[in-house]
Structure 1
């Protein structure tokens, strides 16, 4: 008589798709290292990238240490030590997959300008202005923020640290807190769609630097108003201004440290915020409003800071939402085949 595994000994939900994520990230990293080695001639990039990515991930997790400790305490109380220990192995694997994925993403992103020149900025800037009644979106947002007294520099931490936990660490959060294998699989696919697909493949097709670097790239004064607005808001003298200056220096020097690559279209910040909002909406209807507000805040600051054209975020929202809708649809089978599946005995189909 066969025994049914107990809940304690059973594999945690989502373990199988998370294993597939690990295999994908290993292949993705191998491709990134090969690409960077061939194009840049720097085969030793990998170890420095992984060390810096681990340091950044440790910083993000440390920033959320209190929340994560509370979540662990609740998990121990609700599920018990055995189930938490089993899930901890899956969480450890997800953490390693995140580090490998982000390392590969950074290697590819910093290599993209060596493959193609930045070409799409004039077109994106023109589309932005056409979509907003002849105005640049950054100007509209800075005018509104000045009227309501929005403290722009304070949003910088939100745009980076608060965004980073769900945006970068979604597989870790899924492994730790989600028990729906189908939902875990769906959002792991969306996670990969937002990072490698949009952030590398689509970004390479529309390679651009964004409004804040437009004049430096093309030697124009097209976005002189943005420079003045960033100075007036205090952002130019904040940590954001320092990071933007560092990004441009790294670009000119060809540096490849994590986060140093430049590409505006489409916005990975907004894409991953969209994934987060959709996940919250699936978990509970009460989380729809916080998810939408989070997405709007990221979209707002991506434009306000000059990192992105508005169209960068709009396209990201549309593409991620469309991918989510497709992943939620059941497989479309002809009616005759559906009847065969319905009546076939177990093992009857090959």
Structure 2
């Protein structure tokens, strides 16, 4: 039986870590995916695409230090806000660190460590895709399909007025390049560690991993494209998106800007090296896929937040086109595929079946 010690008042208790069949399955799946990724990279002599080491600092800092600190602070503030007397606050704090809260918290942190390996494997494969596909062969076709679906007009032209106000543009840019990460990974953290989400944790984590694999590896590899922001670089044609890129560049090249991130990703691609979040692939959009996935689970777990969650997914879709990272069809397909994965996974897992079957390791 795995265990670790935590203080509880004046005592030191043994915190058991009973893992569900689902927890073990998540760990094995993440490890198996990493092994397959490593084997593919070695077999194709794409060692330069290995990205595991780039997650060894950022991921533990975010999921083992920053998010737990913020989570604990929010719990403390909630107790202080709701309970006026000191004795009541102490009792509430003791309840908050009881076993039925700390067990899923500790198990969730362990699962998040396994997902660090998974994300490193994903980024490695994504970085290698252009090497295996000989570049980005599908941008022209996808741009033409996009234009045809939107009445012969490139969709970004409908969205340009959003940037007429520099503050609105800055907010869109920050949200897409920074806020999205906070929303998606805070949701991942909460589902992994919270006692309130134990019933759906395994299903969420499997759906999360399958979405990355199907959308970000399989479909991305089959229809590899670089997106509007790199269209001229990969096709030699500046006409469809040159005006859009010039418009975005006019807003500067700060650390949250399209120009800054474009340079970062393109430099890694040209040198064939991996980095944190490296790899270029537009179709389908992982930004939209994860926002949709989280909206689906938020609607299931916290129904009153379903409208803001889905509204955020729409905002991410619109932003992805406005900022030239994606063709509109990248988001449309991502939404459909994510919903399909979510719907396929739900009957097989149920809400409680796996989460309640525990065994000792």
Q: What corresponds to 1:123 in structure 2? A: 141
Shift of 1:79: 4.3
The unaligned stretches of length 5 or more in structure 1 are: 1-7, 332-350
- Choose the corresponding residue for 2:181, options 154, 164, 170: 164
State how far apart, in whole Å, the 2-side matches of 1:298 and 1:78 are.
38
Q: What corresponds to 2:127 in structure 1? A: 110
State how far apart, in whole Å, the 2-side matches of 1:80 and 1:58 are.
22
* Mapped pair 1:56 → 2:55: no
- Choose the corresponding residue for 1:300, options 294, 318, 324: 318
- Choose the corresponding residue for 2:72, options 64, 69, 73: 69
The unaligned stretches of length 5 or more in structure 2 are: 1-13, 79-91, 350-361
TM-score by length of 1: 0.81
State how far apart, in whole Å, the 2-side matches of 1:94 and 1:171 are.
11
SS in 2 for 1:183: helix
8 Å contact from structure 1 (residues 26, 100) kept in 2: yes
TM-score by length of 2: 0.79
Distance 1:329 1:85, change over 3 A: closer
Shift of 1:278: 0.8
Distance 1:315 1:76, change over 3 A: farther
Equivalences, count: 318
- Choose the corresponding residue for 1:154, options 163, 171, 190: 171
- Of the two structures, which has the highest relative contact order with CA contacts closer than 8 Å and spacing of 6 or more? 2
Report the aligned-residue RMSD: 2.8
SS in 2 for 1:151: helix
Distance 1:127 1:63, change over 3 A: farther
SS in 2 for 1:321: helix
Deviates more, 1:118-127 or 1:181-190: 181-190
Query: Which structure dedicates a bigger proportion of its chain to strand?
Result: 2
State how far apart, in whole Å, the 2-side matches of 1:166 and 1:21 are.
22
Distance 1:169 1:206, change over 3 A: farther
Deviates more, 1:305-314 or 1:80-89: 80-89
State how far apart, in whole Å, the 2-side matches of 1:306 and 1:77 are.
50
